[in-house]
Amino acid sequence: MKIIESVKELRKTRKEITGKAGFVPTMGALHRGHLELIKKSTEICDTTIASIFVNPTQFGKDEDYDKYPRTLDNDLQICEENGVDIVFKPKKEDIYPLSNPKVGFRISEELGNILCGKSRPGHFEGVAQVVSILFNIVDPDIAVFGEKDYQQLAIIKEMTSSLRYDTEIVAVPIIREPGGLAMSSRNRYLTPKEKELAGNILKVMEGVKVKAEEARFDRRALPVEFIESEAASRLTELIPDCKVDYVEIRNTNDLTKGRFLARDSRIFAAIFIGKTRLIDNLYIGV
Ligand code: AMP
């Protein structure tokens, strides 16, 4: 496995790749969720490049950029053992040669101003910015992203298509802890008890799915707002001291919202446990 820090060397190595080049962008602190992305890339591509870069521009002023877990030795071992061919771990100056980078994709309001885009202003602009720069450097045939960050995935698809990147975006389903909590690098901020309680996020979303299926069977129209507020109350009941940021039901394809539960719905949730923000989502169909 090659470990590359410089943009110049990465570009040179990329040019030598024959066959399909797969790319897995990460911020490190790798876990089984990342592993699944790596696996997917190694299955469908000839060469897999993983990047490890904690991107400062996607963190808000009061967020955890400085404290974000950095576990490089372990990350490199995971990459090595799981078939990554090249790890790209640039420095901040390699990605952002100017101190106040202004470049960026203009995300549509429909995708950018909802859910996490509303709660974390500037976050997705930072994500789109770093992914577009990484795509310019890596020039991947295929890039793999997780459904855990579902809105991010939608924005990356929008960006890739709008900017005419010659890259296919492949999605991987959410990988979960045994108790149901979606795996995340930030889960290590939680105590074992909090982790256990956080398993209720999935339980509540699954409850909504069952309700949606029952209503469909009975041909009953379910008002979306009512279901959302019921789910939010259930979350605060089951996870004492959590703060619900949002629970929303939207169309799984374009993230639009209707008044009544319709076909191809997906439920999205974001909650705080202490200072740790957790997000999750589940396809609820109907
Ligand atoms: P991050 O390192 O958190 O920026 O995540 C890098 C990639 O891994 C993103 O495409 C995430 O959506 C994906 N990812 C993170 N956690 C999971 C998970 N639990 N299941 C599937 N994909 C994940």
For the domain that residue 211 is a member of, what is the CATH number? Answer: 3.30.1300.10
One domain, residues 153 and 194: no
Is 90 exceeded by the pLDDT of residue 286?
Answer: no
Instruction: Please list, residue by residue across 163-176, b when 16 or more beta carbons sit within 10 angstroms of its beta carbon and e when fewer do.
Output: eebebebbebebbb
For residue 39, what is the domain's CATH number? 3.40.50.620
Is 178 within a domain?
no
User: 14, 34, 120, 123: which is the annotated catalytic residue?
Assistant: 34
- The three-point CA angle 128-173-34 to 5° equals 65
Residue 215 confidence class, pLDDT cut points 50, 70, 90: very high
Task: Give the Å distance between the CA of 175 and the centre of ligand 1.
Answer: 9
One domain, residues 218 and 277: yes
Q: Which residues pair with 271 in a beta bridge?
A: 244, 278
One domain, residues 214 and 155: no
One domain, residues 228 and 260: yes
Atom of ligand 1 nearest to the CA of 31: 16
Name the domain boundary from 144, 172, 200: 172
Is 201 within a domain?
yes
One domain, residues 18 and 133: yes
Nearest Cα residue to atom 22 of ligand 1: 146
| Site residues for ligand 1, CB cut-off 6 Å | 26-27, 33-34, 36-37, 145-146, 148-149, 172, 174-175, 182-185
Residue type, 42: T
- Asked if 24 and 35 count as a contact pair (C-beta separation under 8 A), the reply is no
One domain, residues 166 and 246: no
Is 177 within a domain?
no
pLDDT digits (tens, 9 = 90+) for 80-91: 999 999 999 999
| pLDDT of 103 | 82
Which DSSP category does 279 fall into?
Answer: E
Task: Give the Å distance between the CA of 174 and the centre of ligand 1.
Answer: 8
Name the domain boundary from 151, 172, 193: 172
One domain, residues 71 and 143: yes
110 is written with which tokens? Answer: 């429909």
| pLDDT of 68 | 96
Task: Give the Å distance between the CA of 145 and the centre of ligand 1.
Answer: 7
One domain, residues 62 and 167: yes
Atom of ligand 1 nearest to the CA of 183: 19
What's the average model confidence in pLDDT over 70-83? 98
One domain, residues 153 and 256: no
Is 222 within a domain?
yes
One domain, residues 162 and 190: no
Q: Which residues pair with 51 in a beta bridge?
A: 25, 88
pLDDT digits (tens, 9 = 90+) for 220-272: 999 999 999 999 999 999 999 999 999 999 999 999 999 999 999 999 999 99
Is 179 within a domain?
no
What's the average model confidence in pLDDT over 135-150? 98
Which DSSP category does 174 fall into?
Answer: P
Which DSSP category does 218 fall into?
Answer: T
Is 17 within a domain?
yes
123 is catalytic: no
Of the candidates 194, 152, 196, the one whose C-alpha atom is nearest the C-alpha of residue 171 is 152
Residue 101 confidence class, pLDDT cut points 50, 70, 90: confident
Residue 137 confidence class, pLDDT cut points 50, 70, 90: very high
* Residue 235 structural domain: 185-281
Q: How far is CA 167 from CA 63, 120, 157, 164, 259, in A?
A: 31, 27, 10, 8, 35
Sign of torsion over alpha carbons 51, 162, 11, 123: negative
Is 90 exceeded by the pLDDT of residue 102?
Answer: no
Is 90 exceeded by the pLDDT of residue 99?
Answer: no
Q: Which residues pair with 21 in a beta bridge?
A: 47
Average pLDDT of the chain is: 97
Task: State the helix-helix crossing angle for 7-16 and 123-138, rounded to 10 degrees.
Answer: 50
Window from 10-19, 97-106, 125-134, 192-201 with minimum mean pLDDT = 97-106
**Pairing state between β 265-273 and 276-285:** antiparallel
- The secondary structure element, H or E, covering residue 95 is helix 92-95
Write phi, then psi, for 68 (nearest 5 degrees).
-55, 135
Name the domain boundary from 115, 137, 172: 172
**E strands along the chain, which residues?**
2-4, 21-26, 47-52, 86-88, 142-146, 168-172, 242-251, 265-273, 276-285
Cβ-Cβ contacts under 8 Å for 47 (sequence gap 6 or more): 17, 19, 20, 21, 22, 85, 86
Is 80 exceeded by the pLDDT of residue 20?
Answer: yes
68 is written with which tokens? Answer: 């974000």
Query: Which residue out of 23, 24, 34, 116 has the highest number of ligand 1 atoms within 8 Å of its CB and is therefore the one to mutate?
Result: 34
Q: What total number of domains does the chain contain?
A: 2
Atom of ligand 1 nearest to the CA of 174: 20
| Placement of tokens 């399909």 in the chain | 20
269 is written with which tokens? Answer: 């949730």
Is 90 exceeded by the pLDDT of residue 158?
Answer: yes
One domain, residues 14 and 151: yes
One domain, residues 114 and 202: no
10 Å Cβ neighbour count for 51? Answer: 24
pLDDT digits (tens, 9 = 90+) for 36-48: 999 999 999 999 9
Atom of ligand 1 nearest to the CA of 184: 16
